[in-house]
Homo-oligomer: A and B are copies of this chain.
Amino acid sequence: MSEFEEVSAAQVKRRVFLSGLAATTAASLLSAVPGVGQQEKSSTRSAASSNDPFETTDKERIDDLVTANHILFQQGVVDGFGHLSVRSVTKPTHFFMSWNKAPALVTKDDMLEFDQDSTPLNANGRLPYGERFIHGEIYRARPDVQAVVHSHSPAVVPFGVTGVALRPIMHLAGFLPQYVPVFDIRNVAGENNRITVNTNAEGAALAKVLGNSPVVLMRGHGDAVVGPSVKHAVYRAIYTQVNAQIQLQALPLGQITFLNSMEGANVDVSNESGGGHKAWEIWKAEAMANSARLAPYMKG
């Protein structure tokens, strides 16, 4: 039996992820794994930027963030609403995110820079998302997080409004904790709240419920999914949705055997190596084809 180097590389990545080290440190660690650099070089099929598990420059991060917007639209995780961000490499308290636009229509020229309080620095009159505080407060609370997806992924909503917890039912969602936490804004803003997260205080309360989890559900609203790269966050947002849909279908059948925490952690190492790299390739192709189809009908 042969294990191949991807496991070793992925294990490093996972340790980095779990320990909350910064991306640049991760890149250093990875380059030290025997055979990894060599193997990636020897692949004749994948460009370097895709094989790179972490987006290492702000330009790379923003490029991936634009693609991620289009992927999550094409995959049905976001629709006309929802938003994604990435932490700045050069100024790690800051993050990048589009102004208030439908994700499918976002280009790199739409990206704004936000400071540690989620204040946009270069809006020039463009309206930011009202819920930018989700992103800013998660980055503040979780140094390991490099990217955040906020969506209203329909399949997850039932788990935020009933007593039934979203749990890992299949291996591609091995990253899910045993019980995905649920944030209820009523606990912060009372009965007369606005559902959405519109202040730093509300964002901080959400980040507190998220804790060390990669996903937090938001009651009557959707979820926030985080990762050590844009690619990881996209992978997790998609398979959180897939897992939720399967769990909804399995629940009427009776008691479910979920992945235990060891199984989830073990399998996630290989699933997410490179941020679900091979899946990203096809998701990106699908998203680009979709964008090209829509391009003649998009304004601005």
A81-B158 CB under 8 A given contacts A195-B263, A252-B251, A267-B195: no
B158 touches A253 (CB 8 A): yes
Cβ-neighbour of A39 out of B127, B282, B286 (below 8 A): B127
A45-B81 CB under 8 A given contacts A101-B278, A195-B171: no
A263 touches B220 (CB 8 A): yes
Stretch touching chain B among A12-20, A23-31, A205-213, A254-262: A254-262
A residues 230-286 with Cβ under 8 Å of B?
Answer: 242, 245-246, 248-260, 262-263, 266-267, 270-271, 276, 278-286
Number of copies of this chain that the complex holds? 4
A191 touches B284 (CB 8 A): no
Cβ-neighbour of A192 out of B219, B250, B262, B279 (below 8 A): B262
Taken together as a complex, chains A and B put the C-alpha atoms of A184 and B221 apart, in Å, by 31
Interface range on chain A (Cβ under 8 Å from partner): 35 or more
Q: Chain B's nearest CB lies how many Å from the CB of A201?
A: 8
B80 touches A1 (CB 8 A): no
Taken together as a complex, chains A and B put the C-alpha atoms of A288 and B249 apart, in Å, by 31
A6 partner residues in chain B, CB cutoff 8 A: 100, 127, 130
A276 partner residues in chain B, CB cutoff 8 A: 80
A8 at the interface (CB under 8 A from B): no
A110 at the interface (CB under 8 A from B): yes
A80 touches B258 (CB 8 A): no
**A174: nearest chain-B partner, CB-CB:** B195
A270 touches B220 (CB 8 A): no
A43 touches B125 (CB 8 A): yes
A246-B281 CB under 8 A given contacts A266-B193, A299-B47: no
Interface flags, A186-215, vs B, CB<8A=1, else 0:
000001111110111100000000000000
A170 partner residues in chain B, CB cutoff 8 A: 152, 157, 161, 220-222
A79 at the interface (CB under 8 A from B): yes
A124 partner residues in chain B, CB cutoff 8 A: 42, 44
A121 at the interface (CB under 8 A from B): no
B171 touches A161 (CB 8 A): no
Given contacts A169-B220, A288-B296, 4 further A-B contacts (CB under 8 A): A4-B128, A42-B125, A45-B101, A161-B250
Interface, chain A (partner B; CB < 8 A): 1-4, 6-7, 38-39, 42-47, 50, 73, 79-81, 99-102, 104-105, 110, 117, 119, 124-128, 130, 133, 152, 154-155, 157-159, 161-164, 168-172, 174, 191-196, 198-201, 219-222, 242, 245-246, 248-260, 262-263, 266-267, 270-271, 276, 278-286, 288-289, 292-294, 296-300
